Amino acid sequence: MQAGRSVEELIGAMLTELSDIIAVEKPDLVLVHGDTMTTFIGAYAAFLKQVPIGHVEAGLRTYNKYSLFPEEMNRQMVSQMASYHFAPTERNKEHLLKENINENTIYVVGNTVIDALLEIASKPKLLNSELHSIFSNSLKTILLTTHRRENLGELQNIYEAVNQLVEDHPDIQVIFPVHKNPKVREKVLSSYQNTERVHLIEPLDYETFVHVMKHCYLVITDSGGIQEEAPSLGKPVLFARDTTERPEGVEAGTLKLVGTSAQMIYDECSKLIREPSEYQKMKEIRNPFGEGDTSKKIVEIIKLIFHDKVYKEHLLGHMNVR
């Protein structure tokens, strides 16, 4: 990353450098994860070298090419290049089957993000003095994160809802790691001028963020990954986007899609604050995105794939000799 670098320039640099690495290392398989630009370019670099690709977190879809943008098209294009598809859920598998992906190449394994989350959450972590001070009172803490580019014009609605929640509920506070995007920061600072019980902090490293999630009461977010992570820690999620590529969470009840309507965010959050039974219901639902053993499953599948491949090559070689 460089300041002021365009997406096009970044793509060119990634394709060149990843292609060079593949040429030197000559891998038997390239694994790409998720739906970022790096995911797509990593897969494309491998495809140009005719190296098999394994896509981890395959089959997530909104079927709206501009939501998420550009992630939705990244993952669709990777699916067309990949040889092996490691899908988090049965629904993801169904998406791939509808796109004529060979069923024998699709493996439903859960999501590796849950592996990382549970491993980190299981280890003790001392929070810094600022975070320790925030969590030392008896207030219910709402964790707020916003960063999606498609929400930039609607962020004011989210912040308006949070301001009203803090004003109307004296037993809550908000901890808000503010994204580095200058456009996001500008809107945050204009919305929170000395607002009581809204703690604006710098972005957190992943380990610390996981432990902040452990300590919070519920989460309001527009982040993709947090939809999967927070429910594994028993935290209800209010999702501030109009679409989700993870509808399994909505169907299971770990996640509520509230969009960017200030009123809806306010109403749904108030319900979880005021009604312990509603909160407990969401808190106790099993996370549909995995049990924390996804990485092990993927490793075992790759071992089997390559064992079979080597065996077939040996058999063909033996047959050719004869």
52 and 192 fall within a common domain = no
pLDDT at position 53, please? 97
The one catalytic residue in 33, 35, 241, 248 is 35
What is the band of 287 on the pLDDT scale with cuts at 50, 70, 90? confident
- Compute CA distances 121 → 116, 197, 229, 230, whole Å: 8, 26, 11, 11
123 and 72 fall within a common domain = no
The residue type at 141: T
CA distance 166 to 87: 39
Q: Is-catalytic flag, 147?
A: yes
44 and 148 fall within a common domain = no
pLDDT tens for residues 99-115? 999 999 999 999 998 99
58 and 130 fall within a common domain = no
Q: How many CA atoms lie within 13 A of 281 on its CB side?
A: 11
Q: Is-catalytic flag, 300?
A: no
pLDDT tens for residues 70-101? 899 999 999 999 999 999 999 999 999 999 99
The one catalytic residue in 33, 55, 71, 248 is 71
CA distance 250 to 299: 29
Q: Is residue 15 part of a domain?
A: yes
In this prediction, residues 169-191 reach a mean pLDDT of 86
269 and 168 fall within a common domain = yes
What's the token pair of residue 31?
A: 């694994």
Q: Is-catalytic flag, 246?
A: no
Considering the chain, what is the average pLDDT of its residues?
89
* Domain tally, the chain: 2
Domain final position from 78, 110, 142: 110
- The verdict on whether omega for the bond into residue 68 sits within 30 degrees of 0, i.e. cis, is yes
In this prediction, residues 277-282 reach a mean pLDDT of 92
CA distance 125 to 59: 34
Q: Is residue 298 part of a domain?
A: no
CA distance 319 to 264: 67
The one catalytic residue in 57, 228, 245, 268 is 57
The one catalytic residue in 91, 179, 215, 278 is 179
131 and 20 fall within a common domain = no
Q: At what angle do helices 224-232 and 112-121 cross, to 10 degrees?
A: 50
250 and 269 fall within a common domain = yes
Q: Is-catalytic flag, 71?
A: yes
The one catalytic residue in 5, 130, 132, 149 is 149
Residues of the domain holding 167 = 119-284
59 and 193 fall within a common domain = no
265 and 132 fall within a common domain = yes
The one catalytic residue in 91, 94, 147, 215 is 147
In this prediction, residues 128-153 reach a mean pLDDT of 85
Q: Is residue 322 part of a domain?
A: no
Q: Is residue 306 part of a domain?
A: no
Q: Is-catalytic flag, 85?
A: no
70 and 162 fall within a common domain = no
pLDDT at position 312, please? 60
130 and 254 fall within a common domain = yes
Q: Is residue 312 part of a domain?
A: no
DSSP states of 255-318 as a string?
Answer: EEE-TT-HHHHHHHHHHHHH-HHHHHHHHHSPPTT--S-HHHHHHHHHHHHHHHHHHHHHHHHH
- The verdict on whether omega for the bond into residue 70 sits within 30 degrees of 0, i.e. cis, is yes
Share of the chain above pLDDT 90, in %: 63
Q: Which of 200, 254, 207 lies closest to 231 in space, CA to CA? A: 254
In this prediction, residues 205-210 reach a mean pLDDT of 94
Q: Is residue 87 part of a domain?
A: yes
Q: Is residue 263 part of a domain?
A: yes
Domain final position from 90, 110, 130: 110
Domain final position from 89, 110, 131: 110
Q: What is the CATH number of the domain that holds 249?
A: 3.40.50.2000
142 and 200 fall within a common domain = yes
Q: Is residue 30 part of a domain?
A: yes
